[in-house]
Structure 1
C-alpha cells in the first residue's frame, strides 16, 4: 500500500514539474516572432512598390529595388532560425534564381523568392512585372504564417547556439561575397543585420566573464560592417582577420565552456578555432577519413604502382604527378593507349577529398568509387586489381604492408586497393600556402596586390559566390553538405573572340535532366596558379584567359546560346589592374609541397 502511495505521489510531482528550463530559447523565439511579423510587412511594401513600377519612370524601379533591399534585410533577421529549424520552409524565401535539381533524389525546384525577384527586377522589370507580383503575393501569404511555425516548437540551447554559429559562418562566406544579392550588392548590410540578430540572441548566454570579449568583438564587427556601404571596396580580409574569425573563436570557446556543443547540420569540426584552420572539416562527414598510417602507406605505394594498369605503363601518378601539384599539365590526360587522350582534364588531387562528388560530372560519390572506376576504365588504366592484389600479397615489398591492413589472406580482395589509395589521397590537404600563413598570423605573407585580389575575389569579381571560402571550391557553406555544379558555357578553345560551344554534356550524361546539360563540378582554385590548363576540357591555358572568360559573363556573355547557364552573364567590368590583383591572389593559394 505504502509503495503504491509513494508511486502515485511521484507521478503527481512529475506531472506538476515545470518544463525543462533553457537559457535562451525563449529569447530566441521572441526575437523570431517579432522579426517574422516585420518581414511579412516588408514583403507587402515590396509588393506595393512593384505594383507601381512604370518602365518609363526609372524612379519607380529604383523604389522597388529599395523595398526589395528592405525585405532582404528583414528576412536576414529570421534566416538563421528558419534555415536551421525549418529548412524546407526557408527555401521558398531565398532560393537561388535558377532552376535547381535537388540531390540526391533529382527533385526539380523552380526559382522562387527574393533572389528570383532580384534577377527579374534587374533584367526587365516592365516585362516581368506580373511574374514579380505573383512571387510577391506568394511570399506575402507564406510570410503571414511564419509565426505559426512556433506552435509546439521545442529546441535546446545547444541547437540555438549551433544555429548562431552557422549564421556567423554564413556571414563570413556568403553574405560578404554577395552570394544572395549579387545585383543589389546589399551583402555587407545583410551581414550587419545578421550580426545584430546574433547579438540579440546571444545575450542570455553571455556570462559576465565573457561580456567584455564577446561584447567588444560583436560591437567591433558590427561597426566595421556599418562603415561598409561600398560593396565593391569593402575590406573583407581586414574584417575576417580582426573581427569575424576572433568572434568565431570566442563564440566557440563560450559554447564549449557551457558544454552545449552539438553538430547536427554539417561537416564543420567545432574543435578548431575557425573555418580557415586545418582540421576545420570533419573528414568522416565527407565520405571517409584519412585512415590509419598503415593504410595510408599502402595507398601511397599503390599510387605509383604501374602494374595496376593492364600494360604496366600507367599509375595514378601518371595523370596526378606530385611534382606538378598532382596534375599532368595537359589539356586532357593520355590514357592506356599511346597517343590517345581521355575525355577530360585531370584536376589536382589536392583537397579533392573535400567534395561530396568526384569526377568533373560528379558521377562517383566517394574517392573509393572514383579510384575503382579509373582503374577499371578501358581508356584510362584498364586494370584487373582483383588479380593484382593476390600477386602483391606474395611479394616481399608488399607483404608487410598488406598484413598490417588485412591480416586475413582469405578476406583479401581488390576493395583494399581502393580504400588504401583513397586514404592516401585524403592526406593531400597541406593548407600551407601564403594565404594560409597570412590567415594564421603572418601578416607579411601577402602583398598589397594579393590582399586587394582577395577582396575582389570575395566581392566585385564574384568568384567567392561559387568557389566558397575557405576551401575555395563548390562545397556550399555554412553546412558544407552539398557540392555545387554550374553551367558556365565553357568554350571549346581559348579563342574568346570567336567562341565555340564545347559539346561535352557534363553531368547530364549521368543525371539526364535539362538543367544539368553542360554542368560541371566547381573545383578548388587552391593551387590554380600552378595547375594549368583549366576547365573540364583544358581549353583555357592561362589564368588571364580564365579571368577574361568570367569577366565577359561566361558563354552567354561571349554570345553563345546556353539557355540554362547558371553563371551570371552580366559582365564584371574588371579593370586591368583588378584582373592583375585577382591573379596575384590566386598565386597566394599555391601550397609549398
Structure 2
C-alpha cells in the first residue's frame, strides 16, 4: 500500500515540478528565516539566565539549564538546514565540548557552542560563568547574522529532501542516544522538535496527495514522542521498528520517484532503511570497489597462504581465524619470531570494510595499504610478496585464479596480492545476527533482556554515542564520512583497584598532535561477545570488565591523569542488572558464520 501511495504522490510531485521551478524550497527558506530569528532570541534569553546564575542559588542554575534546553530546541528547528547547506557555519553552534582535530587536514578546533555551554554549566557554573557568558555573546552575534546566509541562496527540491532524510537518520542515531546533550538528557524533546520541523518543510511535497504514508508516519512519530520525558526508560527499539524506520522507508520511496540526489555518497538511498545490509555504498569507502568475485576468490586462498611470510609459518588467518570470528583470542598476536608478540590486539576483520581508516591508530587509509603493511612488517610476516606471487603463479590452482583476475602475467606483481586479499575481506559483512533478524521483522529473535540492553546501550549507558548505529563502530552519522578516534584512558590491565596507564600513544605516533595522545579508532561491537580479549592492548579479559571500565568513567574515572580524555570521566551508575542486559544485547550482535 505504501509503495502505491508513494508512487501516486511522486507522480503528482513530478507534475508539479514541471510547472514551477521548485516545490518546497521557498517554504524551507522562509521557515529557516523565521526559526533563525527565534533561535537568536532564545540565545539572548539563555545568556541573561546564565548572567543571573549564583552558585549558592540552585534555582538560578536550574533556570539556566531550562533556558539552555529551550535554546537547544530552537536550534533543532534549523539544524538540518544549517548542517546540510552551511556545514562550516553550523559547527560553531553545536560542536562537541572537547578539543578536536579536524580530519583530514588536522586543523585544530576549540570547543564552542551549546554542547560546550552544557559541559560548563553542569561542571561548575560559578567557576565557568565568565566563559559561558562569552560563549553566549559569541553565539548571539553569530545567530543574528543567520538570515544573511540566504543572500543569493539557491537550492533544489532534491537537496531539500536530502537534508530531510539525513536529519531523520540523525534523529534515529544521535538524538535519541543523547549524543548532543548527554547531561541535559533532552534528546527525546530534540527528536520531536526535529521531526516537527521536517514535517513543516515537507508539507509542500505532501499537499499534492490527500492521504500519504509519509504524513501518517510523521504524525505517528510525533505523537509517540510527545510526553516522553524519561530519557533513561525510553523504548528506543520500539520507536525505531514501529515508527522511525517505516517512516524512513516511506520517505525514501517518495523521494526516489524523481526527486533523489544522484551523486554517489556513503549512504545507499535505494536501501530500505539505515539498518538494511545494503545501507552503505561500499565503493564510497577508501579503496572500495564494486564486488569482484574472481578477485575475492583469489584473495580467500591468499588469506590462508603461509608462504606470504618469510619462514612459511604465518598467514593472515593466523591472527584472524575465521573460527574465532576473524580474531585469534590473544591479548596481542604472536609475530613471525617465536615467542614474540606484536604491539596490539588483533581486532575482528568482520565489517572492517566500513571504515575510513585501518589499524587501531588509523595509519592506513585503505585495506590494501593495511595488508601491504602487515605482510612487509618485520614483526608480523616479514614477507617478500613480489617474489612470492611469481612463484605461486606457476602452480595450477593459483594460475587458474590469477587468469580469472588478469591475463597479463607479464605485469604480475605484488599489488594483486593486496587487492585480492582486500577484496576477500570486503566480503566479510554477514549482517545475520539475532539483532539483524529482529530489525528485519522477526520479533522473536531477541529476549526481553536483549531489548532492554539495546535501549540502555543507545540511552543511559551512552554506548551508542561512540559506537554509532547501525554498524556500532566509529563511523559518525548521519553522513558516515568520518571515522572517530577516542581517548578512553585505557589501562594496562583490568585490575581497576590498582590502575596503571597504558603507555601506547596510539594515533599520536602517526599524527603528532596533543589531542591524539592515546587516541584509538572506535571498533565495531558487532561480534564483541565472541572476540575477547578487548581494547587495543587486549587488557580486558571479559565484557564484564569492559562494562566496569566504562561504568567507572574510563581512565580518568579510575583516578588516572588523562587530561584530554574524550570519554566522560563521571560514572554511569549502572546497576548489575543493567550491565548484564547490555552484555545480553552484545550477544545478540553475534553473526552466525
Q: Distance in 1 between matches of 2:26 and 2:569?
A: 45
- What corresponds to 2:190 in structure 1? 190
1:410 deviates by 2.0
1:207 deviates by 5.2
1:265 deviates by 8.3
- What corresponds to 2:75 in structure 1? 75
Q: Distance in 1 between matches of 2:589 and 2:121?
A: 37
1:406 deviates by 1.6
1:140 deviates by 0.3
5 Å-filtered alignment, 1:383-394, equals 383-394=383-394
- What corresponds to 1:261 in structure 2? 260
Aligned length: 575
- What corresponds to 1:3 in structure 2? none
Query: TM-score, normalised to structure 2's length?
Result: 0.96
- 8 Å contact from structure 1 (residues 290, 424) kept in 2: no
**Residue-by-residue CA offset, 1:29-83 (whole Å, 9 max, x unaligned):** 0110000000000000000000001011011110000000000000000000000
Q: Distance in 2 between matches of 1:304 and 1:121?
A: 55
- 8 Å contact from structure 2 (residues 264, 284) kept in 1: no
SS of corresponding position for 2:206: coil
Q: Distance in 2 between matches of 1:430 and 1:150?
A: 45
- What corresponds to 1:14 in structure 2? none
- What corresponds to 1:439 in structure 2? 439
- What corresponds to 1:318 in structure 2? 318
- What corresponds to 2:583 in structure 1? 583
1:567–1:210 CA distance, 2 compared to 1 (3 A): farther
SS of corresponding position for 1:520: strand
5 Å-filtered alignment, 1:18-29, equals 21-29=21-29
Q: List runs of 5+ in structure 1 lacking aligned partners.
A: 1-17
- What corresponds to 2:15 in structure 1? none
5 Å-filtered alignment, 1:410-429, equals 410-429=410-429
- 8 Å contact from structure 2 (residues 24, 157) kept in 1: yes
SS of corresponding position for 2:582: helix
Q: Would you say 1:361 and 2:361 are equivalent positions? A: yes
Q: Distance in 2 between matches of 1:197 and 1:355?
A: 32
Greater displacement, 321-330 / 411-420: 411-420
**Residue-by-residue CA offset, 1:239-259 (whole Å, 9 max, x unaligned):** 0000000000000000012x1
5 Å-filtered alignment, 1:263-282, equals 264=263, 266-282=265-281
Q: Distance in 1 between matches of 2:567 and 2:508?
A: 17
1:411 deviates by 1.9
- 8 Å contact from structure 2 (residues 457, 582) kept in 1: yes
SS of corresponding position for 2:338: coil
- 8 Å contact from structure 1 (residues 290, 423) kept in 2: no
Q: Distance in 2 between matches of 1:315 and 1:20?
A: 62
Q: Would you say 1:565 and 2:565 are equivalent positions? A: yes
- 8 Å contact from structure 1 (residues 345, 537) kept in 2: yes
**Residue-by-residue CA offset, 1:382-439 (whole Å, 9 max, x unaligned):** 0000001111111111001111112111221111110000000000000000000000
Q: Would you say 1:298 and 2:277 are equivalent positions? A: no
Q: Distance in 2 between matches of 1:442 and 1:106?
A: 44
Q: Would you say 1:449 and 2:456 are equivalent positions? A: no
Q: Distance in 1 between matches of 2:490 and 2:284?
A: 31
- What corresponds to 1:159 in structure 2? 159
Q: Distance in 2 between matches of 1:184 and 1:537?
A: 34
- What corresponds to 1:12 in structure 2? none
Q: Distance in 2 between matches of 1:263 and 1:162?
A: 11
1:130 deviates by 0.3
- What corresponds to 1:285 in structure 2? 284
5 Å-filtered alignment, 1:110-149, equals 110-149=110-149
1:266–1:73 CA distance, 2 compared to 1 (3 A): farther
Q: Distance in 2 between matches of 1:249 and 1:261?
A: 14
- 8 Å contact from structure 1 (residues 290, 426) kept in 2: no
- What corresponds to 1:93 in structure 2? 93
1:266 deviates by 4.0
**Residue-by-residue CA offset, 1:360-395 (whole Å, 9 max, x unaligned):** 000000000000000000000000000011111111
**Residue-by-residue CA offset, 1:533-575 (whole Å, 9 max, x unaligned):** 0000000000000000000000000000000000001110001
Q: Distance in 2 between matches of 1:449 and 1:210?
A: 42
Q: Distance in 1 between matches of 2:407 and 2:325?
A: 34
1:223 deviates by 1.0
**Residue-by-residue CA offset, 1:124-147 (whole Å, 9 max, x unaligned):** 000000000110000000000000
- 8 Å contact from structure 1 (residues 266, 480) kept in 2: no
- 8 Å contact from structure 1 (residues 266, 285) kept in 2: yes
Q: Distance in 1 between matches of 2:410 and 2:28?
A: 58
SS of corresponding position for 1:127: helix
Q: Distance in 1 between matches of 2:186 and 2:504?
A: 36
Query: TM-score, normalised to structure 1's length?
Result: 0.96
- What corresponds to 1:330 in structure 2? 330
- What corresponds to 1:7 in structure 2? none
**Residue-by-residue CA offset, 1:338-364 (whole Å, 9 max, x unaligned):** 110000000000000100000000000
SS of corresponding position for 1:176: helix
Q: Distance in 2 between matches of 1:217 and 1:561?
A: 49
- What corresponds to 2:466 in structure 1? 466
1:422–1:210 CA distance, 2 compared to 1 (3 A): farther
1:265–1:405 CA distance, 2 compared to 1 (3 A): closer
Q: Distance in 2 between matches of 1:384 and 1:210?
A: 68
- What corresponds to 1:203 in structure 2? 203
1:291 deviates by 3.1
Q: Distance in 2 between matches of 1:417 and 1:60?
A: 65
Q: Distance in 2 between matches of 1:200 and 1:182?
A: 27
1:19 deviates by 12
1:532 deviates by 0.2
Q: Distance in 2 between matches of 1:228 and 1:535?
A: 36
Q: CA RMSD in A?
A: 1.2
1:292 deviates by 1.1
- What corresponds to 2:109 in structure 1? 109
**Residue-by-residue CA offset, 1:220-255 (whole Å, 9 max, x unaligned):** 101111132100000000000000000000000000
- What corresponds to 1:47 in structure 2? 47
